Amino acid sequence: MKEHKEPAKTVFVTGGSGFLGWNLVKALKDHYRVFAGYYRHPFQMEKVKTLKLNISDRGEVREALKKIQPDLIFHTAALARVEVCEKDKEAAYRINVEGTRNLILESPKNSRFIYVSTDLVFNGKRSFYKETDLPDPLNFYGETKLLGEVVTAENALDYLIIRISLMYGFGNNFSESFLDWLRKTWTQGGKTKLFTDQYRTPLLVSEAVKALREMATISAGREIFHLGGRERITRYEFGKKFAELYGYPTYLIEPASMVDVLTVNMPVDCSFSVNKIQNFLSFTLSDVEGGLRKLYKEDQGESPVSKNSG
Ligand SMILES: NC(=O)c1ccc[n+]([C@@H]2O[C@H](COP(=O)([O-])OP(=O)(O)OC[C@H]3O[C@@H](n4cnc5c(N)ncnc54)[C@H](OP(=O)(O)O)[C@@H]3O)[C@@H](O)[C@H]2O)c1
């Protein structure tokens, strides 16, 4: 049994309007006093105090954190679109690196900072990356997220860096997840090109949220953790499993190679080893089939088996 800290009372989630942040805020709001930041997409949620905050503006960050006085910060805000980061490097640096620095430097000294990073800090030349493996990002998004890690390690007193694999689940109206995009396209009869040559360890967003909540209370600090699902898989195979479970025809999925679709360098294999984080969690991270079934239940309130047989 791992040691745990006193639970935080006031929590600040940056990127509350984003895919991960919104799911996280939803899960925290009944247990903590929750403040959630947004930038371009105002949103409201019962029991949550939402605020507009540009994390790149140090003065705004100072004012906000002086008022909130959080015990715990989940920093999920980022310019998270790989191709946009490559096109607008200045914005990517300002948000992902300077934004992270602003938050840490203006946080109360005794607060805990959880920095959400990515599997794209690796070059993808091997499989099942461990926390001890050396990062070597291939694109500017990965580079800025790695610099955010460095800024965190150099400036925060009590922090965890949690690198997350490709997440799946459903978001809100204004942040489109990978599955939101597949579902929307297929519902309109459109086809989607999915990579057969990139391996990840996809993670159900509700498990990401649960793990982040649990990790926030561990007494160990100043450490890196890899958080992903149990199974290494390509987007193409993942898409087929999703389509089969949700009843979409698999001919809507076209196999594609990354080089034919992307204008940005992407790692071929950035699958994670999740052994380290698994030791700290109260639940077992799912494989793809298990995660998709869980998602179906969360989404529809029943299991796919009972729906099909009913
Ligand atoms: N999605 C994945 O599969 C995945 C995988 C690994 C790691 N991650 C990491 O997980 C985190 C969340 O990703 P996501 O997919 O949830 O991203 P997302 O849906 O694109 O959300 C990004 C969030 O950042 C906010 N933001 C952007 N610029 C900002 C600024 N200047 N000031 C304040 N907030 C700003 C956005 O606010 P507005 O929308 O209101 O402008 C939004 O809430 C990121 O750190 C990302 O690097 C994601």
Where is 294: in which H helix or E strand? Answer: helix 288-300
CA of 15 to the centre of ligand 1 (A): 5
Please give the C-alpha separations between residue 262 and each of 24, 109, 133, 193, in angstroms, as whole numbers: 30, 42, 26, 11
pLDDT at residue 188 in the model: 94
In a domain, 67, yes or no: yes
Q: Please report the atom of ligand 1 found closest to the CA of residue 43.
A: 40
Whether residue 167 has its Cβ less than 6 Å from ligand 1:
yes
Nearest CA to ligand 1 atom 32: 54
| Model pLDDT, residue 300 | 80
Res 301: pLDDT = 66
Query: Cβ(235) to ligand 1 under 6 A?
Result: no
pLDDT for the residue 304:
43
Model pTM? 0.95
Intervals of the chain under pLDDT 70: 1-3, 301-310
45 part of a folded domain: yes
Q: Is residue 292 part of a domain?
A: no
Triad 124, 212, 31: Cα angle to 5°: 165
| Burial of 247 (C-beta count, 10 Å sphere; 0-12/13-18/19+) | exposed
Domains contained in the chain, number:
1
In a domain, residue 139? The reply is: yes
Residue 257 CA to ligand 1 center (angstroms) comes to 26
Question: What's residue 309's pLDDT?
Answer: 30
What pLDDT does residue 174 have?
79
Q: Containing domain of residue 224, as a range? A: 10-175+202-228+271-285
Cα–Cα distance for residue pair 224/115, rounded to 1 Å: 10
For residue 105, what is the domain's CATH number?
Answer: 3.40.50.720
pLDDT for the residue numbered 306 = 34
